[in-house]
């Protein structure tokens, strides 16, 4: 595809990219990266164990797994407008609930509501962006989901300032709910109130859904492929590792390595810029190399985990955080890309919903298991060694998979040349088309 066509696709849809980025930042990124900062205060206030406080991630992502299926069906049936609105509102309610989280029941309920919010917003944005972009799908998703890493950048400063001022962790979370209620929800309603081609795509239903295909029927179709199970298991494993590191690295640095968060907060925020760039960069790589590019980031994640073990000073901490954030930048972005490249665009909402279940189940399993390994060993060493191997195994599982609904850039250029020179010629199709 020509460079002009590539630029035009981005130019036509820059507004939705900006809005989607802001919604992911405010209603997903900041709340998600806030969780590691509440674990130690919650343990200190209520005497909960490391595994117990980490189980909020399990509640969050189990609800997210179920909600992702529902969001996939909803988006294919009536479009993405309601799904995103549900996400912004439920996220605000979830953060309000932390004010009352003086027992584990309400604590986990708040986490579950965060899962509903995340599934609604992120699943909807993955589908919407994948519908709007063909040439730059990975790059566009990378731009939108860099909102999660932008959340990682600002969260340490938000929580550091509030905690130093003596505010309770539940009060801080309650205050953060204002972002969802006063920014995300009104912004989405204003954008969707306008008329245009982008809004039409967001509101469109799937052709497959109008034909009466159910989620179960669609699942039976995609799971017949052996490659689907390799894809599903690999995404589950790498999601478990990535989320476990995300939820536990603050406790690891403070407890295992004896660092005060004031000593590394500046460095965490600084290198998080790399995660923002890596999300965009990984999307660009996936657009050009597809599954081999995804494997590269899976292997890099395994390397980043093992680099946590020698952390002792500024140099080793910097090396760990740099590689960690670059590897993390390729995560989440890869799921919708590999879904479309390998399983195809038909009923994309339901397909991404199915794959999102694997993502969320991995997110649910990873953090508490690493917390449990810490509880029984007294440190994170054994857990980090195991998790590094799991990430590398996930990369190996993708080795047999070849993209079936994707053309390399050079093939796209050939297709354009053939079409221009011979308008009546049938276009070159991806292998699975």
Residue with tokens 């929580």: 159
194-214 pLDDT, tens digit per residue, is 888 778 877 877 654 445 566
Given a cut of 80, is residue 423 above it in pLDDT?
no
pTM reported for the whole predicted model: 0.77
340-392 pLDDT, tens digit per residue, is 899 988 777 788 888 888 988 898 889 889 988 998 999 999 999 999 999 99
Asked if residue 331 lies in contact with residue 277, where contact means CB atoms within 8 angstroms, the answer is: no
Most confident of 64-73, 255-264, 281-290: 281-290
Residue with tokens 């006063």: 182
Q: What is the pLDDT of residue 364?
A: 80
Given a cut of 90, is residue 137 above it in pLDDT?
no
Given a cut of 70, is residue 275 above it in pLDDT?
yes
Q: What is the pLDDT of residue 427?
A: 46
* More confident position, 286 or 156: 286
Q: What is the pLDDT of residue 5?
A: 62
Task: Give the span between the Cα atoms of 426 and 291, in whole angstroms.
Answer: 26
- Residues near 159 by Cβ (< 8 Å), separated by ≥ 6? 34, 37, 172
Q: What angle do CA 28, 11, 340 make, to 5 degrees?
A: 60
Query: Above pLDDT 70, what percent of the chain?
Result: 91
The overall average pLDDT reported for the chain is: 85
Distances (CA, A) of 346 to 40, 98, 337: 45, 40, 14
Map out the domains of the chain with their CATH numbers.
15-421 (1.20.1250.20)
- Residues near 253 by Cβ (< 8 Å), separated by ≥ 6? 259, 261, 264, 311, 317
- Nearest one of 34, 147, 23 to 86, comparing CA atoms: 23
């Amino acid at each position: 595809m020509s460079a002009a066509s590539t630029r035009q696709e981005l130019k036509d849809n820059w507004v939705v990219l900006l809005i989607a980025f802001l919604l992911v930042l405010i209603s997903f990124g900041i709340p998600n990266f806030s969780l590691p900062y509440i674990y130690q205060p919650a343990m200190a206030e209520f005497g909960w164990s490391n595994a117990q406080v980490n189980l909020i991630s399990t509640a969050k992502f189990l609800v997210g797994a179920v909600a992702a299926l529902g969001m996939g069906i909803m988006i294919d049936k009536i479009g993405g407008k309601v799904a995103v609105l549900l996400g912004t509102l439920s996220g605000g309610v979830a953060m309000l609930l932390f004010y009352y989280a003086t027992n584990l029941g309400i604590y986990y309920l708040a986490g579950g509501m965060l899962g509903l919010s995340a599934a609604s917003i992120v699943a909807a944005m993955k589908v919407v962006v994948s519908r709007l972009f063909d040439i730059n799908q990975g790059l566009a998703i990378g731009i939108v989901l860099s909102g999660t890493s932008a959340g990682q950048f600002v969260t340490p400063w938000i929580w550091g300032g509030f905690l130093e001022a003596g505010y309770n962790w539940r009060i801080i979370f309650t205050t953060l709910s204002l972002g969802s209620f006063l920014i995300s929800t009104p912004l989405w309603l204003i954008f969707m109130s306008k008329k245009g081609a982008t809004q039409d795509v967001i509101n469109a239903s799937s052709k497959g859904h109008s034909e009466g295909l159910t989620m179960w029927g669609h699942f039976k179709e995609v799971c017949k492929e052996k490659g689907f199970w390799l894809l599903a298991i690999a995404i589950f494993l790498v999601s478990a590792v990535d989320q476990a590191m995300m939820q536990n690295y603050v406790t690891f640095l403070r407890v295992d390595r004896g660092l005060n968060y004031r000593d590394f907060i500046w460095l965490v925020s600084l290198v998080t810029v790399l995660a923002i760039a890596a999300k965009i960069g990984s999307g660009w790589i996936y657009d050009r190399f597809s599954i081999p590019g995804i494997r590269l980031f899976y292997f890099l994640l395994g390397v980043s985990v093992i680099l946590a073990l020698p952390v002792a000073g500024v140099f080793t901490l910097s090396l760990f955080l740099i590689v960690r954030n670059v590897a993390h930048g390729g995560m989440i972005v890869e799921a919708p890309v590999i879904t479309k490249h390998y399983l195809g665009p038909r009923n994309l909402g339901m397909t991404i919903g199915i794959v999102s279940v694997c993502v969320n189940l991995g997110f649910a399993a990873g953090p508490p298991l690493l917390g449990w390994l810490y509880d029984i060993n007294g440190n994170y060493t054994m857990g980090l060694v195991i998790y590094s191997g799991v990430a590398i195994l996930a990369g190996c599982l993708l080795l047999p998979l070849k993209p079936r609904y994707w053309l390399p850039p050079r093939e796209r250029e050939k297709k354009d040349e053939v079409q221009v020179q011979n308008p009546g010629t049938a276009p070159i199709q991806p292998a699975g088309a």
